[in-house]
Structure 1
Amino acid sequence: MEYNLEKFKSGLNKLKIELSEQQIQQFLTYYEMLVEKNKVMNLTAITEFEDVVEKHFLDSLSLIQQIELHQNLKVLDLGTGAGFPGIPLKIAFPELEIVLMDSLNKRINFLNEVIDALKLEHITAVHGRAEEMARKPEYREQFDLCVSRAVANLASLNEYCLPFVIVGGNFISYKSGEVEAEVEQSKKAVFLLGGKIKDVKKFRLVETDAERSFIQIQKVKKTPKTYPRKAGTPSKNPIQ
């Protein structure tokens, strides 16, 4: 199938990302697998090629505006869903070592199919809830960077994500629209969990008028053993 790659290439150019033909092909294969699998399970409401390019691919890759990705970082994509932002980041920045984590096993099976089809290395998809996985020594405080596009309150996201990050590492939350109130309300959680708010970057998503934000939280000390609390609690009862 022929795709109009103009918007994708223009967006990549604005993000100063250079991809080889093989990497572009990996994105196209990923798109085709996503749309195909979406017929039998709910992965995304966005299926038109140009919309996926804008709202999933370029949105995922916008992270390059916030942090240097051409380096050997160990990255956790928590609540990865259909693989965003982790798979686009892995395609574009192969030196990253990535773990995709999601609580729905059907999604993990799909992600493993994608990893195999694209012949991606140093990337794994694991099934589990953040509250349980963050207590396992192989995951707790093991990552230089945790990223999440999950739709959740920032205070809850901090409780899910910060326990995975090494001291000196970062958690970056992808958010859309206004974030000031949410950032303010999450300050206590950030402090209790061993983090500090390093930066809030607002920008327009390339090739669109959509408002986006990155909230970067640096891990400055170890997360107390009491966090995360048991399954479901961080969402139902965020630290206030």
Structure 2
Amino acid sequence: MKLSEVAPAGAVEPLAAILELQAHDVTASTTVRDPREAVGRHVADSLSALELPFVASATRIADLGSGAGWPGLALAAALPEARVSLVESAIRHCRYLERAIEVSGLENADVVNARAESWPEGIGVHDLVTARALGALAVILEYAAPLLIEGGHVVAWKGAASDEEVSAATAAAAILGLEPRGVVAVTPFPGARDHTLHAYCKIAPTPSRFPRRPGMATKRPLG
């Protein structure tokens, strides 16, 4: 799989630079370092969300738990008119993300060294929040909801999600002012199994008690 087969023409050069950095920088938060493999497992997987119209049209994106920068960096490269914040609490990962932005020349991406619950500047200003391999759906929704404008969306990249996880997320969504907008099955690269995108829309204000204190979303999950 080649970058030119999965990414828009203008995104190929910056993404190639990021994949080269990822291949050699030991602080990159991934075990997939071979650029040829990473095209599918990271880039194509990230860009699979572009089939959702509200992702393709997003203008202000927060990528939570950004780690090695996926899907945030791929979306920044593919959507040059969008502003993408890579939200990451670990400083060593933030330093890697800053290097990735530098080598790629992506001027529409920035790094936020914070937990999602402790980022007041991010509240209520995003039309899209993304999370890939971050945690249970209910936890992701609690992190995301306060950051969204009404009418904004959350997209979570998941493998197989149990009925119990989906049910808990639906209950959490109702508390947070969110509504499920479907599950999209994707096969971004050969051999991908059970890959799904879980989408939610913010249809009402999130109660003022959110965000809760850092760590509460995982200690006492909603739903």
C-alpha offsets along residues 66-114 of structure 1, whole Å, 9 cap, x if unaligned? 2355546111101110111011111122111111100011111111122
Structure 1, unaligned runs of 5 or more? 1-5
Q: State the match for 2:17 in structure 1.
A: 29
Structure 2, unaligned runs of 5 or more? none
Give the alignment partner of residue 92 of structure 2, picking from 106, 111, 135. Answer: 106
- Residue 231 of structure 1: CA displacement? 1.2
Q: State the match for 2:49 in structure 1.
A: 63
Q: Residues 55 and 220 from structure 1, CA distance in 2 versus in 1: closer, same or farther, beyond 3 angstroms?
A: same
Q: State the match for 1:3 in structure 2.
A: none
Q: Secondary structure at the match of 1:126?
A: strand
Query: What letter corresponds to residue 14 of structure 2 in structure 1?
Result: Q
C-alpha offsets along residues 208-238 of structure 1, whole Å, 9 cap, x if unaligned? 3422111111001111111121111111221
- Is 2:179 the partner of 1:196? yes
Give TM-score, length-normalised by structure 1.
0.86
Query: What letter corresponds to residue 32 of structure 2 in structure 1?
Result: I
Checking the alignment, whether the CA contact within 8 Å between 2:4 and 2:12 is kept in structure 1 is no
- Residue 130 of structure 1: CA displacement? 1.2
- Residue 203 of structure 1: CA displacement? 2.3
Checking the alignment, whether the CA contact within 8 Å between 1:66 and 1:214 is kept in structure 2 is no
- Is 2:118 the partner of 1:132? yes
- Residue 181 of structure 1: CA displacement? 3.2
Q: Secondary structure at the match of 1:34?
A: helix
Q: State the match for 2:8 in structure 1.
A: 18
Q: Secondary structure at the match of 1:76?
A: strand
Q: State the match for 2:133 in structure 1.
A: 150
- Residue 174 of structure 1: CA displacement? 0.8
Checking the alignment, whether the CA contact within 8 Å between 1:203 and 1:212 is kept in structure 2 is yes
Checking the alignment, whether the CA contact within 8 Å between 2:142 and 2:176 is kept in structure 1 is yes
Q: Secondary structure at the match of 1:169?
A: strand
- Is 2:47 the partner of 1:52? no
Checking the alignment, whether the CA contact within 8 Å between 1:70 and 1:95 is kept in structure 2 is no
Checking the alignment, whether the CA contact within 8 Å between 1:83 and 1:100 is kept in structure 2 is yes
C-alpha offsets along residues 185-221 of structure 1, whole Å, 9 cap, x if unaligned? 2122101111011111122224334221111110011
How many residues are paired up?
223
Q: Secondary structure at the match of 2:97?
A: helix
Give TM-score, length-normalised by structure 2.
0.92
Checking the alignment, whether the CA contact within 8 Å between 2:130 and 2:155 is kept in structure 1 is yes
Runs of 4 or more, structure 1, over 3 Å off, are 6-10, 68-72, 178-181, 206-209
